[in-house]
Amino acid sequence: MWKPFRGRPRPPPPLYDPDTPILDLGDREHITLGQMYQSFFVCGGTGSGKTSSLGFHILLNLLRAGACVLTMVAKPDEAERIRKICELAGRGKDFRRIGPGEPWKIDLLNYELSQPNASVESVAALLDVLVELASRSQGKGDEPFWALLSKRLLKMSISAVWLGTGKCSVTDVFSFITTLAQTPEQLHSREWVKGSFAGQCLLTGAMREMPPGKRRDFEQAVTFTEEWSELNSKTRSIGITMAVNVLSQFMSGAIADVCSSGETNLTPEMVFDEGLVVAPDISVLTHHQAGQFLQVALKTVYQRAVLRRDVRKSPRPFVLWMDEVNFFLDPKQDAIFQSVGRSARSITVAMGQNLPLLQQSFGPDGERDAAAWIGNFGTVAICSNNCHQTNQFFSDRIGQHRELFLGGSTQRSDHLPLSFFGGLDSTVTGSFSEQWSPRIPPSFFATQLRTGGNWNGKLVDFICMQNARKFGKLPYKFCTLTQGEF
């Protein structure tokens, strides 16, 4: 029956309220939206229930709280899974799949160059991320000279193309690099200037009007082309191979269509303002390095756009969602992005399997980088894991407590006369000692946590830790979630 409203009207809950519960840990403990800004890392072995339990509930509730999302896609079924979670959250219309057969495009370099205060440095830094990723994945982190050479080649090429022609796509940079003069004589020949893309860029740039700062950058690029023509051919060819390896990933098939077609109809700003959920359905497992490069580039572009935005005008929380995070790591940019999470209203959610896999993805300084990277996450959830190194790491991080060990023994006495007269015929000794021992021993993570599936009643156990938070008297909480159903 309808009843008239009595009493003072309650104000509506504030939009994007930081106290909105996002993850229910049981016993009235929650991870709230405000706490999610400090980033969330889920670690667990393959099949431990990360994606279907924690991943499902966190994403569903972030979507219900109104967040906009960029997801990284490692597995072929990931984009479809995200779409279904959007439907469940009532956000189906906000879902945007990027990839073959879809209309959504972002021309990465032209988009970056069209931003206020765009500079050659900022665009070149976008490609630097990929050069570093390529050197790490080829185990060439110990050869910084070649990485530096190809970064400089890319930066000077972007400078010459952008300032020379007024625009700059990946294909243009590729054409510039591959038509650079090979000798000082060629550089000064009329045929090369007329017949090569590089020559044409330098010619048009020399004739264009540009402000003094840009003129200086352009002159630097011209000087670079002179130096380049004087280098020995082996050095030149290694530099070109590394740069072309990065650029060529963006130049064929579906990936070229998405990010180097010259057209942009889905920008990070649209995603923030309209509250969209973007999934690049170009998974790493099907598109290999090209899929990985495209997604790392997209991630960098979105991270920069989040750091640029004015949260008073664009207050919607932004979520960077990275399942199988080892494919998408970038130690420098990730650290900056996570450190300003609260003020930029950005949330990083990462899920990965174990420490050695992260270390391997970080390259030569992997051990140090991986530990520092995990340290940037305010909340960590640890699911079942068979990796001893990972289990030892988290056991150490949870710390030790003092335990009382009791011991005792009895000994029969051979002292006959004493027993004959009714005395004791055995000696009882007792001892106790206090020792520090792990609150959670490493083996606990391997044996005591349920991994979901019908045989576990769809229950997934995990240990949750949050910086500076105690659950009762403990620095961790044992939690259980049910796997999500579609």
Ligand X SMILES: Nc1ncnc2c1ncn2[C@@H]1O[C@H](COP(=O)(O)OP(=O)(O)OP(=O)(O)O)[C@@H](O)[C@H]1O
Judged by the rule CB under 6 A, the positions of this chain that interact with ligand X are: 44, 46-52, 353, 451-454, 458, 483-485
Contact status, residue 103 vs residue 265, Cβ threshold 8 Å: yes
User: Which candidate, 431, 434, 483, places its Cα nearest to that of 457?
Assistant: 483
Nearer to Mg ion, 138 or 286 (CB): 286
CB of 249 to ligand X, least distance (A): 25
Measured from the Cβ of residue 400, the count of other Cβ atoms closer than 10 Å reads 13
195, HSE (Cβ side, Cα atoms, 13 Å): 8
User: Which candidate, 263, 312, 252, places its Cα nearest to that of 110?
Assistant: 263
CB of 322 to ligand X, least distance (A): 12
Nearer to ligand X, 117 or 447 (CB): 447
Token pair of 18, please? Answer: 């930081």
49, HSE (Cβ side, Cα atoms, 13 Å): 29
CB of 379 to ligand X, least distance (A): 17
CB of 320 to ligand X, least distance (A): 18
Measured from the Cβ of residue 306, the count of other Cβ atoms closer than 10 Å reads 23
State which of residues 35, 48, 51, 361 lies at the interface with Mg ion (CB under 5 A): 51
Nearer to Mg ion, 198 or 329 (CB): 329
Q: CB-based contacts of 11: which residues, under 8 Å, 6+ apart? A: none
Cα–Cα–Cα angle for 238, 74, 453, rounded to 5 degrees: 150
CB of 349 to ligand X, least distance (A): 13
Nearer to ligand X, 47 or 399 (CB): 47
Nearer to ligand X, 225 or 385 (CB): 385
452 binds, among Mg ion, ligand X, none (CB under 5 to 8 A by kind): ligand X
Overall size of the chain counted in residues: 486
136 binds, among ligand X, Mg ion, none (CB under 5 to 8 A by kind): none
User: What CA–CA distance (Å, rounded) separates 118 from 115?
Assistant: 5
Judged by CB under 5 A, the number of residues near Mg ion is: 1
225 binds, among ligand X, Mg ion, none (CB under 5 to 8 A by kind): none
Handedness of CA 319, 332, 397, 360 (dihedral sign): positive
Nearer to ligand X, 51 or 225 (CB): 51
292 binds, among ligand X, Mg ion, none (CB under 5 to 8 A by kind): none
Residue 361 near Mg ion by CB under 5 A: no
User: What CA–CA distance (Å, rounded) separates 104 from 99?
Assistant: 8
CB of 277 to ligand X, least distance (A): 20
- Give the footprint of Mg ion on this chain (CB under 5 A): 51
